[in-house]
């Protein structure tokens, strides 16, 4: 296969690129585009490219100067479409963060790559936001693309995380592709649970555990379902517990990893109480996004050196990068069906 030229927009830590690498697909990053300095640095480390390739703010790109590419990827900002956000929406020209998806469309219009892949929250299909989704599809259709979309959940790709996202793949209509490629995307049975990805107890620093007072309230609410992999729901009316309302058994899966407030898990311990509750560690969140420990540690070390005078203060950035990303395993299945199984 000839090398695929990739333009990565809203790159984050580059889940699309990671999936291409894992599949051994021959590709070249012509440019990436990421406004956040920590994510840009992480991207350059993970994908071994110079930060000089970063176009930075998408609104300031001189589109006329962009080189040709075959594939544009964009997991555009989703906050304004998200159920947990303020629902400001993504109307073109509205200046919301989610409206940056239209900057991609202008770039597609100019470059006319073979493929465009867009990822976003499922809520973009809701009554409030579907007009933007429809407009995106219609605009790409008018530009000469066939559009395919599907909502996929990470747990159907053997990752113990419940994370549903919409994936829209647009294929330029002169590119030959099987009509059923999207139905042919292979899911994988879930054979893992949180227990398989979490750190051994002796490797978990104290700072990830909830305080004794919060834990004791949750312990009080513990019920036997916890052991069978079912979510324990705390008392939602108690404001102290609001942040900790969902605690997951390590025999099950966790909720969607967001940019802050990582999911909590219940760990059995040989102590008096019998268990402790803790936040997932950043490295565990990266694993649940399909990134390797090597990626995690290399990024953490270089962020510490570059931005934190060598101090261990990277947690909030590492959580944010994981929460903003896309589960690599899902993208692998998409690219396999789109790019490899066509041959
Ligand atoms: C949902 S995340 C996408 C993450 C990415 N798909 C990944 O695999 O990690 C959106 C990204 O867009 C970036 N972003 C927001 N506004 C931007 C802008 N004006 N120009 C370029 N990037 C921007 C954010 O910093 C964030 O990293």
Give the pLDDT confidence of 166-225 residue by residue, as tens digits: 999 999 999 999 989 999 999 999 999 999 999 999 999 999 998 888 777 665 554 444
Q: Please answer whether residues 337 and 179 qualify as being in contact, where contact means their C-beta atoms are separated by less than 8 angstroms.
A: no
| Residue 116 confidence (pLDDT) above 80 | yes
Phi and psi torsions of 208, nearest 5°? -85, -10
Q: Name the residue of 77, 121, 256 whose CB sits within 8 Å of the most ligand 1 atoms, as the mutation to test its pocket.
A: 77
Note the pLDDT of residue 229. Answer: 38
Note the pLDDT of residue 212. Answer: 83
Helices (H) and strands (E) in the chain, counts: 10, 10
Note the pLDDT of residue 243. Answer: 53
Note the pLDDT of residue 106. Answer: 98
Range name among 161-170, 213-222, 328-337 with the lowest pLDDT average: 213-222
Note the pLDDT of residue 275. Answer: 73
Q: Please answer whether residues 96 and 51 qualify as being in contact, where contact means their C-beta atoms are separated by less than 8 angstroms.
A: no
Using 50, 70 and 90 to split pLDDT, how confident is the model at 157? very high
Alpha carbon 299 to its chain centroid, in Å, reads 16
Beta strands in the chain (DSSP E): 4-9, 27-33, 71-74, 115-121, 145-153, 164-172, 232-233, 246-249, 264-268, 275-279
Nearest CA to 289 among 332, 335, 231? Answer: 332
| Dist CA 178 CA 194 (whole Å) | 36
| Residue 232 confidence (pLDDT) above 70 | no
Compute, in angstroms, the gap from residue 321 CA to the centroid of ligand 1.
Answer: 10
Note the pLDDT of residue 273. Answer: 64
Compute, in angstroms, the gap from residue 191 CA to the centroid of ligand 1.
Answer: 31
Note the pLDDT of residue 162. Answer: 94
The protein residue whose alpha carbon is closest to atom 19 in ligand 1 is 57
Q: Tell me whether strands 27-33 and 71-74 are parallel, antiparallel or unpaired.
A: unpaired
Compute, in angstroms, the gap from residue 245 CA to the centroid of ligand 1.
Answer: 28
Just list the catalytic residues. Answer: 78
Mean pLDDT of 254-270: 88
Q: Tell me whether strands 115-121 and 71-74 are parallel, antiparallel or unpaired.
A: parallel
Note the pLDDT of residue 218. Answer: 65
Note the pLDDT of residue 219. Answer: 58
Average pLDDT, the chain: 91
What percent of the chain shows pLDDT beyond 70? 90
Using 50, 70 and 90 to split pLDDT, how confident is the model at 228? very low
The protein residue whose alpha carbon is closest to atom 11 in ligand 1 is 10
Rg, the chain, Cα only: 21
- Cα–Cα separations (whole angstroms), residue 172 to 21, 70, 99, 119, 148: 23, 10, 23, 18, 11
- Cα–Cα separations (whole angstroms), residue 300 to 116, 285, 303, 326: 31, 13, 5, 19
Q: Name the residue of 19, 34, 117 whose CB sits within 8 Å of the most ligand 1 atoms, as the mutation to test its pocket.
A: 34
| Residue 71 confidence (pLDDT) above 80 | yes
| Dist CA 286 CA 36 (whole Å) | 18
How many other β-carbons are positioned within 10 Å of the β-carbon of residue 44?
Answer: 22
| Dist CA 87 CA 333 (whole Å) | 30
Alpha carbon 21 to its chain centroid, in Å, reads 17
Q: Please answer whether residues 110 and 66 qualify as being in contact, where contact means their C-beta atoms are separated by less than 8 angstroms.
A: yes
Phi-psi region of 231 (alpha: psi -120 to 50; beta: other; left: phi over 0): beta
Mean pLDDT of 152-179: 97
| Dist CA 76 CA 216 (whole Å) | 41
What percent of the chain shows pLDDT beyond 90? 80
Question: SS3 for 15?
Answer: helix
| Residue 256 confidence (pLDDT) above 50 | yes
Note the pLDDT of residue 168. Answer: 98
The protein residue whose alpha carbon is closest to atom 16 in ligand 1 is 35
| Residue 251 confidence (pLDDT) above 90 | no
| Residue 150 confidence (pLDDT) above 70 | yes
**12-52: pLDDT as tens digits:** 999 999 999 999 999 999 999 999 999 999 999 999 999 99
Range name among 210-214, 229-233, 319-323 with the lowest pLDDT average: 229-233
Which residues 6+ apart lie within 8 Å of 22 measured at CB? 328, 332
Using 50, 70 and 90 to split pLDDT, how confident is the model at 331? very high
139 vs 253, residue with greater confidence: 139
Compute, in angstroms, the gap from residue 15 CA to the centroid of ligand 1.
Answer: 12
Alpha carbon 94 to its chain centroid, in Å, reads 25
């Amino acid at each position: 296969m000839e090398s695929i030229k990739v333009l990565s927009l809203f790159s984050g830590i580059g889940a699309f690129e990671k999936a291409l690498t894992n599949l051994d697909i021959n590709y070249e990053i012509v440019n990436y585009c990421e406004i956040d300095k920590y994510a840009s640095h992480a991207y350059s480390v993970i994908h071994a490219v110079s930060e000089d390739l970063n176009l930075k703010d998408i609104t300031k790109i001189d589109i006329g100067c962009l080189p040709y590419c075959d594939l544009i990827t964009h997991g555009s900002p989703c906050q304004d479409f998200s159920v947990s956000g303020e629902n400001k929406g993504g109307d073109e020209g509205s200046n919301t963060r989610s409206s940056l998806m239209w900057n991609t469309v202008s770039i597609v219009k100019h470059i006319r790559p073979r493929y465009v892949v867009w990822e976003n929250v499922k809520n973009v299909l809701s009554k409030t936001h579907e007009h933007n989704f429809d407009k995106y599809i219609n605009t790409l259709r008018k530009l000469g693309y066939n559009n395919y979309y599907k909502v996929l959940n990470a747990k159907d790709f053997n990752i113990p995380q419940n994370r549903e996202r919409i994936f829209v793949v647009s294929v330029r209509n002169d590119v030959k592709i099987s009509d059923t490629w999207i139905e042919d995307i292979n899911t994988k049975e879930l054979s893992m649970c949180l227990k398989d990805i979490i750190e051994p107890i002796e490797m978990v620093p104290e700072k990830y555990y909830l305080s004794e007072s919060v834990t004791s309230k949750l312990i009080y609410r513990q019920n036997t379902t916890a052991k069978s992999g079912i979510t324990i729901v705390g008392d939602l009316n108690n404001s102290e517990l609001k942040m900790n309302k969902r605690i997951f058994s390590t025999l099950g899966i966790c909720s969607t990893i967001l940019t802050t407030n990582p999911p909590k898990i219940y760990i059995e311990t040989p102590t008096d109480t019998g268990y402790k509750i803790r936040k997932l560690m950043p490295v565990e969140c990266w694993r649940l996004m399909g990134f390797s420990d090597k990626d995690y540690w290399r990024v953490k070390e270089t962020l510490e050196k570059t931005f934190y005078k060598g101090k261990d203060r990277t947690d909030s950035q590492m959580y944010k990068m994981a929460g903003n990303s896309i589960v690599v395993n899902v993208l692998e299945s998409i690219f396999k069906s789109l790019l490899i199984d066509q041959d």
